[in-house]
Structure 1
Amino acid sequence: MTLSRSICEWGYIPYGDGADEIPEVHADRIAALAKASGFSGGGAEGVLEHGRKGLRARGIVGVIATPGFQLEILPKIEGAGEDAGKGIEKRTLRRRLIDMLAVAHDLPVETGAMTGLGWQSETVLEVLIGLFCHKLAEAVRQGLPRLYVNHEDDLPALRGRLNVTRQFSTLAATPHRLACRHDVLSPDIALNHVMRATVSRLSGIALSPENRRALRELALAYDGIADLPARAIAWERITLDRTNGRWRDLLAFARLFLSGRYQQTSLGNVSGHTLLFPMNTLFEKYIEQVLRLALAESGHGLTAQGGHLSCLYEGQHTSDDKKGRFRTRPDLIVRNGKRIPLIIDTKWKRMVPRIDDPKQGISQSDVYQLMAYAQLYDCDRVMLLYPHHGDLPKEQIHQTYNIAEPGAEKRLIVATHDLVAPRAKQTASLRELVLGKE
């Protein structure tokens, strides 16, 4: 039997055998796996704090699982007007995390497919596996994709083209056999290799009886397809067109499960798997995707993690062979032709209500960074964008400051975004943030 516990980011779970505690023997293994996950920078501080009396989550969410135990870490995703102090149900947070992942990673998550899934009791990993199985089963019922694949066989009668070189060398002494090259319509292709590899990987980690049953049925459907490791799959040979476009969504799931984000680890006597997401990165990617939709017909472009201008340069003259130092990489750059009207840095941090702190918990280093962006990129508006949460006023924050002096043209905007609002409202809100004063 596998035990399962769920906590929120920055939450604490003490050692013990209670329903809200983690047995210490499992805690040691979970902490060791977190340390080896690749998100810790060589230590466990990036995922979990391994204390004397319990574990504390950091800013990484997802699932860490060892034999016999799963720890799920959920983000604190609140909407405008919600009171976090009353405790948002974990199934609600789980669903909101899935929604963010769906947008950020282009996953096909429809309302109908989510009906009946175990939001209350299953971890986010089991929910994602269930969504993948549901979508793949629908696609398989319509038939596996096939492509013509070149085959070479020695046959008693000519089929296709004659392989002249082989015929008059290897088969010179057996003229009754013909070296043939011909095309065969085969399902043993790269796209099916990806799906087979995903089913194989998930079959070893799924705990839900429904998921395990679905994966067994899918494994039977892919019997006869080569079971290749992810690194051996020829991803570059996958071509999606009108005949197989329904597989596009499933490829997004497969990339999630087969990429480095999902990890299986064996370290000494500790083994298990993790599916983890840094919330800073997830929030940035989510805002990027929604903002691209918001700007689709505005004539504005969006660059993520671009720019790459340096703060300092060596050399006294422009003709010098100079080299830049301290290269910058803004989260999101909004472009209008050659002009940059806005730069956005997303921050997965909880702003403090103004009544508690006039600076609202905004980091001085973040302000300095945005001021540097305004100068380097000749941008009149730079923005710090935070998630809205229940401790703030109900309306989203949109505060403008003049940079360096009163009345300055360059402005820094501090804003929040309500992740729980309907998608159409979120899109409209981001569009107004970018285009409202142009």
Structure 2
Amino acid sequence: MPDRTEVRLGEYGSALLGDAQLTPRDIERLRALEARRRLALDRIPTGWRLKADATVGILVLDRVRLVIEPKFAIPGDQLMTWLAYALGAPAPLPVTARRWATGPEGFADLVAAALLEECERLLREGLRRDYVRRQNLEPVLRGRLDVTYQVTRRYGQLDKLHVRTFDRETDTWDNRVLGTALRVAGALATRPELGRDLHAIAGAFPQPSPPDAALRALDRTRYTRLNARYRAAHTWARLLLRGGGVTDLLTDRGSTADGLLLAMPALWEAVVRRLVTEATGPCGGHAVPGNGAAGITVRGDLGSTSAFRPDVLLSLPGADPLVRTLLPVDAKYKRYDCAGVGAADVHQLLTYSAGYASTGNPRAVIVHPRTGGHAHRVLRVDSPRGSLGSIRVLGIDTHALPRQAVGWVGSALPWAGW
């Protein structure tokens, strides 16, 4: 790999790049990411100004290696904990462990270390084997003789035999996709010892598939008792191969450059979705779809029909067991611990509360990240004719563990006296 200049910036931060630092191919890649609102690239007299959005990770260009660090609310040593929680993957090792030590390497090395840890576990337990059909040329008969090949390619010679075998091998899709992901992780790793470990363990897996083929195989994978232990390793492999996205969770199909970029708003939405669902479960609550017949739609305007969909729509038990209440919850990756809720978000949540309220008390919830402890406040929106609704603003301390946040959310949601 050629030496690249490392450029570091924080989430929502910016950096100046000279004309010589970006190749035409780099500019094309960055424009593609700009179109998907991952970053902004502006021309200036001395070169280029690159501004990161709510995105963290690593982007490897031809001459530059961009490192975007989390700066807003989720600290680096907690980012993997919350990411694992959002993905439903096993919790990472303690941050004091060698491979999870946070430093200048940042997010990409942590994901690579997570994949390495899971692959080492699979090797210790033994890789899964399955029957694989092979077409071989052998000196002795083994398996079934392929008469057609033998006649048309050996012309009656019997010193070598075309045979078809069906043996149990480790060369399966479950293992090949991990071999592919290990090689991708090795290209992104910045710590030499991590790169060496990834390269060493990759040799124990079958010949890797092209990344696109590996992703298609992961999307087709169905887990049974035979391959259920591969789920965690596949989760990290999918994250690496997709360049920052996870199917049906943190989707990001737009990055054409080598790298690992994570959209923090999408991560926070996934965290909130699981957080409030688990918090309401013991009280009989559950999430319901907020689209289709249950969606709030706008018709009659120019263009296509638009819709309002909350990030989570909770169905909660009421005083009457036969009557349930719908509570819309929206995840906001914003500094609502330091500033007031914006007017646009108030309007959005009032629309949700009016659309889903089953009583005369429209309610909605905003959940945002913060540091320094959990917090909540209630916004009451009134008009000359009375109350329009109330919005509870919950601030989740991202320094806390997810299970602690679940307990706090369970005590702060409406049935606790709101």
3-state SS of paired residue (1:204): helix
Alignment correspondent of 1:72 = 67
Instruction: Show the 5 A alignment for 1:348-363.
Output: 348-351=333-336, 353=338, 360-363=339-342
Is 1:232 aligned to 2:232, yes or no? Answer: no
Is 1:398 aligned to 2:398, yes or no? Answer: no
User: In 1, Cα distance between the equivalents of 2:367 and 2:381?
Assistant: 17
Alignment correspondent of 1:367 = 346
| The one of 402, 406, 411 aligned to 1:432 | 411
Cα gap change, 1:67/1:377 in structure 2, threshold over 3 Å: closer, same or farther? Answer: same
User: In 2, Cα distance between the equivalents of 1:170 and 1:144?
Assistant: 38
| The one of 303, 311, 332 aligned to 2:312 | 332
| The one of 275, 291, 297 aligned to 2:276 | 291
Aligned residue identity for 2:281: A
1:221 Cα deviation from its structure 2 partner: 0.6
Cα gap change, 1:396/1:112 in structure 2, threshold over 3 Å: closer, same or farther? Answer: closer
Cα gap change, 1:159/1:111 in structure 2, threshold over 3 Å: closer, same or farther? Answer: closer
Cα gap change, 1:252/1:313 in structure 2, threshold over 3 Å: closer, same or farther? Answer: same
| The one of 277, 280, 290 aligned to 2:265 | 280
For structure 2, the 5+ residue unaligned runs are 246-252, 318-322
Cα gap change, 1:264/1:350 in structure 2, threshold over 3 Å: closer, same or farther? Answer: closer
Alignment correspondent of 1:36 = 31
1:66 Cα deviation from its structure 2 partner: 2.4
Q: Is the 8 A contact 1:198 1:254 kept in 2?
A: yes
Alignment correspondent of 1:47 = 39
1:303 Cα deviation from its structure 2 partner: 4.2
Q: Is the 8 A contact 1:310 1:327 kept in 2?
A: yes
Instruction: Show the 5 A alignment for 1:22-421.
Output: 25-26=20-21, 32=27, 35-38=30-33, 40-41=34-35, 46-48=38-40, 50=42, 52=44, 55-67=50-62, 69-78=64-73, 93-112=75-94, 115-117=97-99, 118-150=101-133, 159=143, 183-222=166-205, 225-233=206-214, 234-235=217-218, 238-259=221-242, 261=244, 272-303=257-288, 306=291, 309-313=295-299, 325-336=305-316, 339-351=324-336, 353=338, 360-378=339-357, 380-389=362-371, 396-402=375-381, 404=383, 408=387, 410-421=389-400
1:420 Cα deviation from its structure 2 partner: 1.6
Cα gap change, 1:75/1:204 in structure 2, threshold over 3 Å: closer, same or farther? Answer: closer
1:121 Cα deviation from its structure 2 partner: 2.6
1:396 Cα deviation from its structure 2 partner: 0.6
Cα gap change, 1:237/1:146 in structure 2, threshold over 3 Å: closer, same or farther? Answer: farther
For structure 1, the 5+ residue unaligned runs are 16-21, 80-92, 267-271, 316-322, 354-359
Q: Is the 8 A contact 1:3 1:69 kept in 2?
A: yes
Cα gap change, 1:265/1:330 in structure 2, threshold over 3 Å: closer, same or farther? Answer: closer
- CA-based RMSD of the aligned residues comes to 4.0
Cα gap change, 1:238/1:385 in structure 2, threshold over 3 Å: closer, same or farther? Answer: closer
3-state SS of paired residue (1:295): helix
Greater RCO (Cα-Cα under 8 Å, separation 6 or more): 1
1:189 Cα deviation from its structure 2 partner: 0.9
User: In 2, Cα distance between the equivalents of 1:373 and 1:192?
Assistant: 45
1:258 Cα deviation from its structure 2 partner: 1.3
Q: Is the 8 A contact 1:34 1:64 kept in 2?
A: no
3-state SS of paired residue (1:397): strand
Cα gap change, 1:134/1:304 in structure 2, threshold over 3 Å: closer, same or farther? Answer: farther
Q: Is the 8 A contact 1:403 1:412 kept in 2?
A: no
TM-score, normalised to structure 1, is: 0.73
1:333 Cα deviation from its structure 2 partner: 0.7
1:46 Cα deviation from its structure 2 partner: 4.3
1:389 Cα deviation from its structure 2 partner: 4.3
User: In 2, Cα distance between the equivalents of 1:407 and 1:182?
Assistant: 79
Cα gap change, 1:142/1:63 in structure 2, threshold over 3 Å: closer, same or farther? Answer: same
Cα gap change, 1:126/1:178 in structure 2, threshold over 3 Å: closer, same or farther? Answer: closer
1:344 Cα deviation from its structure 2 partner: 1.0
Is 1:8 aligned to 2:32, yes or no? Answer: no
3-state SS of paired residue (2:391): strand
Aligned residue identity for 2:409: L
3-state SS of paired residue (2:261): strand
Cα gap change, 1:32/1:242 in structure 2, threshold over 3 Å: closer, same or farther? Answer: same
Report the identity percentage: 21
Cα gap change, 1:352/1:425 in structure 2, threshold over 3 Å: closer, same or farther? Answer: closer
User: In 1, Cα distance between the equivalents of 2:171 and 2:51?
Assistant: 46
Higher helix share: 2
1:275 Cα deviation from its structure 2 partner: 1.8
User: In 1, Cα distance between the equivalents of 2:258 and 2:324?
Assistant: 46
User: In 1, Cα distance between the equivalents of 2:81 and 2:387?
Assistant: 40
3-state SS of paired residue (1:342): strand
**How many pairs does the alignment contain?**
387
Q: Is the 8 A contact 2:316 2:324 kept in 1?
A: yes
1:257-294, Cα deviation, whole Å (9 max, x unpaired) = 1125378977xxxxx52322222211111111222332
Cα gap change, 1:350/1:304 in structure 2, threshold over 3 Å: closer, same or farther? Answer: farther
Q: Is the 8 A contact 1:107 1:249 kept in 2?
A: yes
Aligned residue identity for 2:297: C
User: In 1, Cα distance between the equivalents of 2:110 and 2:392?
Assistant: 37
